[in-house]
Amino acid sequence: MTYPLQAIIGTDEKNPHFTVFRNLETKKIELYHGFVLFEILHDKKDNPQLKLLVARLSNAGVKTSVLTRQFGYCYRSIQNWSEALKNGTLEELVESLKGQGAPKKLNKEVEGFVEYEFKRIYPKNKSSYSKEIRKNIEEVFGYTISSETLRPLFNNLKEEYNKQNENCIKKKLK
């Protein structure tokens, strides 16, 4: 006989109330307060709700080493989430849940700037438009972006540009 619930965190001296189970059939995490089902979450490593649960458990006194072993998150991430949940603003919490790495350079603001510059520069300078736009990004935003990062955006913009030009040519021929 197989049991679908696997206990991953039980009660102890520091945690006398909460028990966490992994449901092997539904692939979900179940949190119980005593015998009462308190919360059900998707058991996916990138699930922000699961990260918040881990942060709450850490703040409630569950050892970080146990949380690391059972959920697979690194010690430092759990500490960041716990601190952001306790002392941070909403923005700090959201930023801590996003994951590792620096903020993305190609954000919506830069994308809008690139689209504007592309429409202005590309028709006149098809050979080195990328270099010119990247130079303008550095002047305006104060950091560099590689051509590889911009390539997918440029490909979409070129495709859009070519479609518009085809439509203009077809209208002129009619």
Burial (CB count <10 Å: 0-12, 13-18, 19+), residue 55: buried
DSSP structure class, residue 122: T
CA angle, residues 122, 124, 130, in degrees to nearest 5: 35
Task: Say if residue 170's pLDDT is above 80.
Answer: no
Q: Please, which pLDDT band fits residue 2 given cuts at 50, 70 and 90? A: low
Query: Could you report the per-residue pLDDT of 43-73, keeping only the tens digit for each?
Result: 988 888 999 999 999 998 888 888 999 888 8
Task: Say if residue 153's pLDDT is above 80.
Answer: yes
> Is residue 6 helix, strand or coil?
strand
Task: Say if residue 169's pLDDT is above 80.
Answer: no
Task: Say if residue 15's pLDDT is above 80.
Answer: no
Burial (CB count <10 Å: 0-12, 13-18, 19+), residue 17: exposed
Query: Could you report the per-residue pLDDT of 108-147, keeping only the tens digit for each?
Result: 899 999 999 999 999 999 999 999 999 999 999 898 999 9
Task: Say if residue 100's pLDDT is above 80.
Answer: no
Tell me the two tokens of residue 14.
Answer: 């520091």
- Give the other-Cβ count within 10 Å of 71's Cβ: 21
Give the pLDDT score at 164. Answer: 83
CA dist., res. 66 & res. 20, Å (int):
12
**Across 78-98, average pLDDT:** 84
Give the pLDDT score at 103. Answer: 62
Give the pLDDT score at 174. Answer: 59
Task: Say if residue 102's pLDDT is above 60.
Answer: no
Task: Say if residue 172's pLDDT is above 70.
Answer: no
Q: pTM value? A: 0.56
Q: Which residue has the higher pLDDT, 103 or 73?
A: 73
Q: Which residue has the higher pLDDT, 101 or 33?
A: 33
CA distances from 6 to 14, 23, 93 (A): 21, 6, 30
